[in-house]
Amino acid sequence: MTASGIYTRHLDKNAANYAPLSPLSFIERTAQVYPNYPSVVYGDRRYCWGETYARCRRLASALSSHGIGSGDTVSIIAANIPELYEAHFGVPMVGAVLNAINTRLDAPIIAFILNHAESKVLLVDPEFSGVAKEALKQVDHDLLVIDIDDPSFEGGEKLGDLTYDALLEDGDPNFAWSLPADEWDAITLNYTSGTTGNPKGVVYHHRGATLNAQSDLLDWNMPKHAVYLWTLPMFHCNGWCFPWAMAANAGVSVCLRAVRAEPIYAAFRDEKVTHFCGAPIVLNMLANAPDDLKDFDHEIKVMTAGAPPPAAVIEKMEAMGIEVTHVYGLTETYGPSVVCAWKNEWNDRVAEDRAALKVRQGVRYTALSGLMVANPETLEPVPADGETMGEIFMQGNVVMKGYLKNADATDTAFKGGWFASGDLGVMHPDGYIALKDRSKDIIISGGENISSVEVEDILYKHPAVMEAAVVARPDEKWGETPCAFVELKPDGQATETEIIAFCRDNMAHFKAPKTVVFGALPKTSTGKIQKFKLRDRARELS
């Protein structure tokens, strides 16, 4: 027998030495150990961990009584409110899969998601009842619609026969939920913005959610009982796994419906916020806010991702006592999976140099087992010279299960045991990566992905447009904005204002071009539009 063979005899896993990894275990432990510690704050609503755990169990129990169980999809469209936080636990407690929908989407895309996910339940925040009502008209199956009551929001209309509060009243606070049978079971479903029209459904599993949530805490050095402000949408990659991370941390989630400078600075001051996440646009907004708002007197840390934040914005944030950590990831990697890990030897550098270092994307998260910049054809790593570009590849437990009902896209995403990000970057000599371009032509605006192809499809519907191409234009506020290059038909007439208005009438407003340039489009000999030339022109405009 080989030496390793002795470790296989009578050493099988069993109930005493193995339990599936699931972030649901975090809230159970915290509610047991810290039942009276604060958990969720939203205006006048204040919950402790014992209460939040009971509410999550009530939700799970009530969903179960309505026939929701293993593998069923429960969708929700809501702002950062307690009900969305609770859904991250209550839904998977019955083996169901949570689908948090981007609140900025239009009705046709929301309808596509509800149909594609075969959603059995839709929970609706009153702020989004209008778009949800239009989407439901296009859904091809019956589903249970539950209205979320929020007295702090004026307006909205009732869409269902049941409210969230009534649902919880029917639930058992001692509901006996169980861990998943397999940690590979799906826990959530998140839709990308899509590069060729309809979005793709990215499936997360319990194991990945557990490990990425733990990495959030470890790689950000987040202390126990941190106070976390929800400026990052919880629908975006499940809030980068921070709903589960905060349960493990036994911290406080301060919910915020509107991301504006005044309520953010008020939360800093009144709730003593210690941590928050957000796109560079949020940092830029805070850095340029009136000085009289900036009256907090304690250290705060922010994690940012999306289009790389300008070094000048990082300098401004840190000058007022907010420490910036830059991360990178995709929907397919549970949000952040690469972090610009800080080194103490960099502390003595001047502010400008420190900011330049922080602009880089960095090194792999603790939970990510592999990260490389490589030739996309050969998977051969590029030289670590900070200049040679290649595609960024990831590998490990925090890579998605795959795309829902899309085997071809899943197979394309996985190459030779690696996940192909589609993003182009370089590897620096110290092992830190930096993004340089996006091969998928995705525009990252305010932290949200915009498909250039989707915008182009709308432009081509305009009666005066003959040809169109959309690229990213650098923007100090949003990071990037869509810039449309349009060639009109010989007899066509349209102004920039008219083109933008047409797009806004036919798609989510944040996806519409902010700039329109008229003229002939550069093409190859085979008629392909040369987008690299258009990107250069867009940069010149900025």
What's the CATH code of the domain at 515?
Answer: 3.30.300.30
Q: Kindly state whether residues 400 and 465 are assigned to the same domain.
A: no
Of 393, 507, 406, the residue nearest 202 (C-alpha): 406
Q: Is residue 382 part of a domain?
A: yes
Give the helix ranges, DSSP H, for 380-513.
407-413, 452-459, 496-506
**Measured between alpha carbons, how far is 348 from 110 in angstroms, rounded to an integer?**
49
Which of 417, 438, 459 lies at the terminal end of a domain, its last residue? 438
Give the per-residue SS3 of 128-190. Answer: HHHHHHHHHCCCCCCCEEEECCCCCCCCCCCCCCEEHHHHHHCCCCCCCCCCCCCCCCEEEEE
Give yes or no: residues 56 and 167 share one domain. Answer: yes
Strand-pairing partners, residue 437, are 424
Residue 309 lies in a domain: no
* Per-residue DSSP letter, 196: S
Residue 474 lies in a domain: yes
Contact 472, 480 (CB under 8 A): yes
In total, how many domains does the chain have? 3
Helix, strand, coil % (nearest 5) of the chain? 35, 25, 40
Does residue 516 sit within a domain? yes
Whole-structure pTM value: 0.85
From first CA to last CA, the distance across the chain in angstroms is: 69
Boundary of a domain, candidates 146, 178, 210: 178
Residues 519 and 446 in one domain: yes
Same domain, 92 and 149: yes
One domain, residues 174 and 75: yes
Q: Which of 443, 219, 248, 432 lies closest to 335 in space, CA to CA?
A: 219
- Nearby residues of 344 by Cβ (< 8 Å), 6 or more positions away: none
Q: Name 217's bridge partners.
A: none
Domain co-membership, 467 together with 409: no
pLDDT by position in tens, the chain (length 542):
455 678 877 888 899 999 999 999 999 999 999 999 999 999 999 999 999 999 999 999 999 999 999 999 999 999 999 999 999 999 999 999 999 999 989 999 999 999 999 999 999 999 999 999 999 999 999 999 999 999 889 989 999 989 999 999 999 999 999 999 999 999 999 998 654 467 899 999 999 999 999 999 999 999 999 999 999 999 999 999 999 999 999 999 999 998 999 999 999 999 999 999 988 878 878 988 899 999 999 999 999 987 666 677 788 899 999 999 999 999 999 999 999 999 999 999 998 888 888 888 999 999 999 999 999 999 999 999 998 889 999 999 999 999 999 999 999 999 999 999 988 888 999 999 988 766 656 788 888 878 776 788 788 889 898 888 899 999 988 889 999 999 998 888 999 999 999 999 998 999 999 999 999 988 754 355 788 899 899 999 87
Same domain, 59 and 166: yes
The pLDDT assigned to 1 comes to 46
Phi then psi for residue 236, to 5 deg, are: -90, 105
**pLDDT at residue number 195:** 40
- Element holding 495 (H helix, E strand): none
Residue 139 and residue 122 in contact, taking contact as beta carbons nearer than 8 Å: no
Beta strands in 181-334 (DSSP E): 186-191, 201-205, 227-229, 252-254, 275-278, 300-304, 322-330
For residue 25, being part of any structural domain is answered with no
354 domain residue, yes or no: no
Say if residues 258 and 229 touch (Cβ distance below 8 Å): no
In this structure, the number of other CB atoms found within 10 A of the CB of residue 162 comes to 16
Q: How far apart are CA 320 and CA 170, in angstroms?
A: 48
Question: Tokens 């949800």 identify what position?
Answer: 132
The span from the CA of 283 to the CA of 306, in Å, is 12
Tokens linked to 453: 């192809």
Q: How far is CA 274 from CA 26, 36, 128, 136, in A?
A: 21, 20, 30, 40
φ/ψ of residue 232, rounded to 5 = -75, 130
Tell me the C-alpha distance between 99 and 77, whole Å: 9
Residues 91 and 171 in one domain: yes
State the Cα–Cα distance between residues 287 and 478, nearest whole angstrom. Answer: 14
- Identify whether 478 is part of a domain: yes
Find the largest Cα–Cα distance for the chain: 84
* pLDDT score, position 282: 86
For residue 359, tell me if it sits in a domain: no
User: Residue 196's pLDDT is what?
Assistant: 45
Same domain assignment for residues 397 and 462: no
- 3-class DSSP string for 59-119: HHHHHHHCCCCCCCEEEEECCCCHHHHHHHHHCHHHCCEEEECCCCCCHHHHHHHHHHCCE
CATH code at 418? 2.30.38.10
Domain termination site, one of 114, 144, 178: 178
For residues 485 and 392, membership in a common domain is answered with no
- 409 shares a domain with 525: no
Clarify whether residues 122 and 163 are in a common domain. Answer: yes
Q: Show the domain range for 85.
A: 48-178
**Which tokens in the block code for residue 189?**
């479903």
CATH code for the domain in which residue 65 is found: 3.40.50.980
Residue 419 phi, psi (nearest 5)? -95, 125
